[in-house]
Structure 1
């Protein structure tokens, strides 16, 4: 009901404000119900004497200059041409973030030395790198925004050898973070994409073959960019910063590691799947947790989520636990068992768990504990929130600033301190050093296991929840709750994403640009009202607020929820152009979000007409990292892009 009310208000709000976006990355994927013609009002521009830059059809409008082909820098050792500090919007909200950098394999350009360290270049149409001609190369854009933090604009050259050798054009776009409030981060990336299409005739790379990729909050925003292509809801925000008008911001592919997303149902999902591991709750708190778990069943039963065969999945009441039965429950059991059986298939025994490589490829890893919680917010042994190096409190009281994780400490590469592949000292790995309090049933995987049976015995150390058939090398689990108790204990306070005191990172995300947190979960708000909680008034007050363009938290939440655009039951269905290709990876042992987050996203995409491929896997034993069953995340991403380009 809350979504219907919000949608109705949004429709009224935008009758006069919004215009439809332009062309799609591929004409045959245009979605019905979206106006493809851009209505332009140029009277103000004409009155002010502004310059209009248009393509041959006259639809592109901007005052931005195209990239200056006489300003290329050249890194001889890497054979890379690059430019840094290119403005991608006319009226940046924060010019220190809203610029982009372009890195091009040297063979794609023919350069003439200007004698001052710069080169005048033109596209070399005869060259090929890894089978790609200059004009046909894929463009990849990292979105490394852990905890929805800002992505710092590059100010110097960074080595991107693997991408350059692959023949990719690499574009790093700085973007605002959660302090600016949703939808600032995605808006900025969309503006950068629009600029790339505007300059596509001048630089190497195919702007119709753009891939975005990220992890955690970056994975979430990568999924959002992938799901919200040409959504009219973003128009007032794009106009506010002076983004190029009349071009598409849809992308061709989206790579998402551990995406913290679908925040409209994430609190309820967290309690449904993992609430059973909470301890020490008061009676009032337990009532909230139980009500949230039950509300997730309501969500699933109206969402119309389908399996790969088109069967609608539902939850049913159960004798044990809260709605731990039904076809949706059985599907989640199957996902867990598939993850474990993939591990058994991938792993060669004897198996050294300490050498498995939690963060970059390799099966296994730590078993349920020792991983970190939210990007920046860490629960201590007593269950209360502690704030480590990458985060400080930012609740409703005091207006404390949240530190931008990628803006301080000196990045060496676009993906963090470890460079573009996320290896080494990335923010994710540093946060993974934070330890957890183990539940009474929790298990820890460590040491060397001689056989698969030995490993299964370790999983069952505190009670049997896994059965194993050595003849077929396959395993099964007893229940979701038994899996969670052993392997996926809670690490976040009640109200995992919309915390009761508005102190969570996502609360800052749905704040209003002042560093203060705001509530956004309408379902939790209704529960608190029904339970006559003292927090109910705070939620009700925040849900009535509007931002600078007149949007409520509920409206912005829809914009920041991929499933709003992907499920037929949602009002946003058919109102965007989703990416054709998706790759989703998650560490199944992470406690940062419920496993249902990634499962629901993958299923919605698999059933969406126009999406051509969805490569989804959960990685056993790995946590909140760039999880891969085998190999290196960068190499696997490059391989996937190449497959999508065929």
Structure 2
């Protein structure tokens, strides 16, 4: 719904009253989903030598019956110019898209993000601050996570859907166009953004949303930006061994938590005989699964694998790696000597995918995600109130080394997999997608994001998919390009 001058004047008047005597921002009672009753503070931040002014509505509980009000909150930021009829880069209070980044990593509980500078990225402006500087309204939602009994799958996905519903239910009362919400996330956050985009308005989540007292509104989003999304949990172990089978040394990421902040360090090792056997058993399972998807490349050619794991799909990913290398060459970069890459006269002429995998190196021991001793974050994600950790694949369950191991139900696993919803009836899948997985990413197989992109393309969605050169597992590293893409899709006819 279009924003009216009267509504913005009312919002500005509400701010004036708040500055005098109203409660602090975000103190509206649980159960009150009316944005018009929220108070704000005027804030500003520096970015690239200039000051960005905005209004901050923070700590908004976005459901009537929160399961965990510490995390089920929204922070909403609006450029100050929109309260005086101004515009920024062609956007106004009426047409500004809503940038919807989630801060979730490792499926841990996460609080709503704030504008600032990212110490993990050379203290550069983060995505929220960058978005505000470019005229976007920003809404960042927190969500429950796997460490809590009520944060198991699909809780985080349900929470983000509820936050989207809050924005759509209040479209008339706040600046920004809730018909153009762009979800953004990295790793597990990228997977959750992909779920938002794939499973819009799915009835599968309805009961859980009703239990939370979510607003009665749609939860589909306009577009998705997903950095290194770890999707397709039921087949990710197969995909990993398809890529890394035969590579028996590794540098494993050891993850420790400090106040819910993830610390990652590399620990080298060698696969045991038992792990090598598991890898040998998992690899041949992937071709049959991949072939069952009946995927095609952008030119309409079938993407398949033979029983040995070779074929057009493998060549397709090799081509994506070649395109990434070619971009660097065209920019005048010297790529040096790489035994997996053949370059002649400044052009990539061949990519050896097997040699690439060896050069990249294994990071995880098999199975990579559904670990037989139930020690992974994903095992905890698919746990329940009764069992903190569970298996979520038949393979791991059959090879389990854990006492009293249990298997998550298929419905729960499906509700964490965007592939389950793409092309299904009864859902509204986002039209626009931007997917980025770096060539140095070893957290999951390149096959995972390639399959996501191909399935979306095969069902008529607009997909911008690329493998950034020598980028590892991370996100928000190309914000200028990201917001140029958002500008293009949001202003297209």
Please classify the TM superposition score into its range, dividing by the shorter chain length. 0.7 to 0.9
Which residue is equivalent to 1:92? Answer: 66
Instruction: Judge conservation of contact 1:456–1:466 (CA < 8 Å) in 2.
Output: no
Which residue is equivalent to 1:119? Answer: none
| 2:485 is aligned with 1:637 | no
Instruction: Judge conservation of contact 1:340–1:475 (CA < 8 Å) in 2.
Output: no
Q: What secondary structure sits across from 1:83 in the alignment?
A: strand
Which residue is equivalent to 1:186? Answer: 157
Instruction: Judge conservation of contact 2:73–2:111 (CA < 8 Å) in 1.
Output: no
Instruction: Judge conservation of contact 1:82–1:102 (CA < 8 Å) in 2.
Output: yes
Higher relative contact order (CA 8 A, sep 6+): 1
Which residue is equivalent to 1:592? Answer: 443
Give 1:513 shift. 4.7
Residues 463-496 of structure 1: per-residue CA shift (max 9 Å, x gap): xx332202x432412x32211111x211112110
Instruction: Judge conservation of contact 2:185–2:193 (CA < 8 Å) in 1.
Output: yes
Instruction: Judge conservation of contact 2:141–2:160 (CA < 8 Å) in 1.
Output: yes
| 2:488 is aligned with 1:624 | no
TM-score, scaled relative to structure 2? 0.81
- Change in 2 beyond 3 A, CA 1:537/1:97: closer
2: CA distance between counterparts of 1:519 and 1:91? Answer: 30
Picking from 221, 228, 241, the partner of 1:258 is 228
2: CA distance between counterparts of 1:212 and 1:156? Answer: 16
Structure 1: 4+ residue segments shifted above 3 A? 62-65, 153-161, 279-285, 533-538
Which residue is equivalent to 1:391? Answer: none
User: 5 Å matches for 1:66-215?
Assistant: 66-68=34-36, 71-75=39-43, 78-110=52-84, 126-153=85-112, 160-179=128-147, 180-215=151-186
Residues 296-346 of structure 1: per-residue CA shift (max 9 Å, x gap): 0110121112211333321113xxxxx232222222222222222222223
Which residue is equivalent to 1:565? Answer: 421
Which residue is equivalent to 2:304? Answer: 314
Residues 22-58 of structure 1: per-residue CA shift (max 9 Å, x gap): xxxxxxxxxxxxxxxxxxxxxxxxxxxxxxxxxxxxx
Aligned length in residues: 424
Give 1:146 shift. 1.4
2: CA distance between counterparts of 1:146 and 1:475? Answer: 38
Which residue is equivalent to 1:492? Answer: 364
Give 1:255 shift. 0.4
Give 1:185 shift. 0.9
User: 5 Å matches for 1:250-399?
Assistant: 250-279=220-249, 280-317=270-307, 323-346=308-331, 348-349=332-333
| 2:214 is aligned with 1:243 | yes
Which residue is equivalent to 1:362? Answer: none
Which residue is equivalent to 1:224? Answer: 195
Give 1:231 shift. 1.1
Picking from 326, 329, 343, the partner of 1:468 is 343
- Change in 2 beyond 3 A, CA 1:133/1:618: same
1: CA distance between counterparts of 2:400 and 2:92? Answer: 63
Superposed CA RMSD in Å reads 2.4
Q: What secondary structure sits across from 1:468 in the alignment?
A: strand
2: CA distance between counterparts of 1:72 and 1:278? Answer: 55
Instruction: Judge conservation of contact 2:186–2:474 (CA < 8 Å) in 1.
Output: yes
- Change in 2 beyond 3 A, CA 1:74/1:326: same
Give 1:89 shift. 0.3
Q: What secondary structure sits across from 1:277 in the alignment?
A: coil
Give 1:235 shift. 1.1
1: CA distance between counterparts of 2:52 and 2:313? Answer: 50
1: CA distance between counterparts of 2:115 and 2:327? Answer: 41
Residues 93-137 of structure 1: per-residue CA shift (max 9 Å, x gap): 101111111110112125xxxxxxxxxxxxxxx432221121111
Deviates more, 1:252-261 or 1:143-152: 143-152
1: CA distance between counterparts of 2:114 and 2:271? Answer: 48
- Change in 2 beyond 3 A, CA 1:154/1:515: farther
For structure 1, the residue ranges without an aligned partner over 5 or more in a row are: 1-61, 111-125, 318-322, 350-451, 544-551, 568-572
- Change in 2 beyond 3 A, CA 1:485/1:129: same
1: CA distance between counterparts of 2:316 and 2:436? Answer: 18
